[in-house]
């Protein structure tokens, strides 16, 4: 069985991290396969939203620690430059919404890959651990970038240094997570949310995503100019015409993602 399970249904690409006996810890194979699937999601028009989740009781326990000590295993620099950094960059560059459906514990790189997604939802029993400091490392996979932006410097600093486990409800209260769904309905509700996104005006969601990403490094004037340009791009789409027409005709829009 592959360490990444992939299928497309109703416009959603479902990516499942599949090493459940290792709590879906990342080894090189899983990291490379995930990148290939993310590339596929980016290039296929029929994919209009991506949902990433984990098989079994965990989302992902981060780096497979047995791999880094194994003879011939990847080096530290390979792990970041060839595994995690490309994954984070591909998720952020994806011109489609990416949902992290955090079904269980998300630790280390597993937590930060979830946190770099556009919308993070969690099962009630899920949890997040910046496990790096527990083994003498620093948060990677974008942790030092996304965490302070999501929850503020103080909380990020404390969580990164202490490596405390944060339960789903607290993660929602802190702003790490958009919504927590009860364990019993988590799969259905997170799928529903992904399908709802896949039926929306995909180009406008992509432009929204990229505008939000840019806002962190730009001043207001530059950001207003960017909104002006992006809005003009959005206004050129079929979906914009459809959205306005449907509103005026008092019917539900049928967006095609173009």
Kindly state the smallest distance separating residue 215's Cβ from ligand LHQ, in Å. 28
Distance of CA 14 to the CA centre of its chain: 12
Asked whether 25 and 62 are in contact (CB, 8 A), the reply is: yes
Q: How many residues in the shown chain lie near ligand LHQ by CB under 6 A?
A: 24
Residue 34, SS3? helix
Q: Which residues of 28-51 are buried (b: 16+ CB within 10 A; e: fewer)?
A: bebbbbbbebbeebbeeeebbbbb
Q: Which residues of 211-241 are buried (b: 16+ CB within 10 A; e: fewer)?
A: beeeeeeeeeeebeebeeebeeebeebebbe
Encoded one letter per residue, x for contact with ligand LHQ by CB under 6 A and - for no contact, window 168-207 reads: ----------------------------------------
Which tokens is 204 given?
Answer: 């406008």
Binding to ligand LHQ (CB under 6 A) within 85-144 occurs at: 105, 107-109, 129, 131-132, 134-135, 137, 140
Applying CB under 6 A, among 4, 12, 79, 193 the residue interacting with ligand LHQ is 79
Place of tokens 């949890």: 127
Applying CB under 6 A, among 5, 8, 32, 65 the residue interacting with ligand LHQ is 65
Encoded one letter per residue, x for contact with ligand LHQ by CB under 6 A and - for no contact, window 7-46 reads: ---------------xx-x---------------------
Contact residues for ligand LHQ, defined by CB under 6 A: 22-23, 25, 61-66, 68, 76, 79-80, 105, 107-109, 129, 131-132, 134-135, 137, 140
């Amino acid at each position: 069985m592959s360490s990444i399970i992939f299928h497309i249904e109703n416009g959603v690409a479902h990516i499942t991290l599949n090493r459940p006996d290792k709590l879906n810890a990342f080894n090189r194979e899983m990291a490379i396969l995930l990148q290939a699937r993310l590339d596929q999601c980016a290039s296929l028009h029929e994919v209009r939203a991506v949902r990433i989740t984990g098989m079994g009781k965990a989302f992902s326990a981060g780096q497979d620690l047995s791999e880094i000590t194994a003879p011939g295993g990847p080096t530290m620099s390979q792990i970041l430059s060839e595994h995690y950094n490309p994954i984070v960059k591909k998720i952020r560059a994806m011109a489609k919404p990416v949902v992290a459906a955090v079904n269980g514990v998300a630790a280390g790189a597993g937590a930060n890959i979830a946190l770099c997604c556009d919308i993070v939802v969690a099962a009630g029993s899920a949890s997040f651990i910046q496990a790096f400091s527990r083994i003498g490392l620093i948060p990677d996979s974008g942790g030092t970038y996304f965490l302070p932006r999501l929850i503020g410097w103080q909380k990020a600093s404390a969580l990164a240094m202490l490596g405390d486990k944060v339960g789903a409800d607290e993660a929602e209260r802190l702003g790490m997570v958009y919504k927590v769904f009860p364990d019993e309905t988590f799969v259905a509700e997170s799928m529903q949310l992904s399908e709802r996104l896949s039926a929306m005006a995909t180009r406008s969601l992509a432009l929204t995503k990229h505008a939000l990403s840019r806002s962190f490094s730009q001043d207001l004037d530059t950001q207003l100019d960017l909104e002006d340009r992006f809005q003009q791009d959005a206004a050129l789409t079929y979906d914009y015409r459809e959205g306005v027409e449907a509103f005026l005709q008092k019917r539900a829009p049928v967006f095609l993602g173009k």
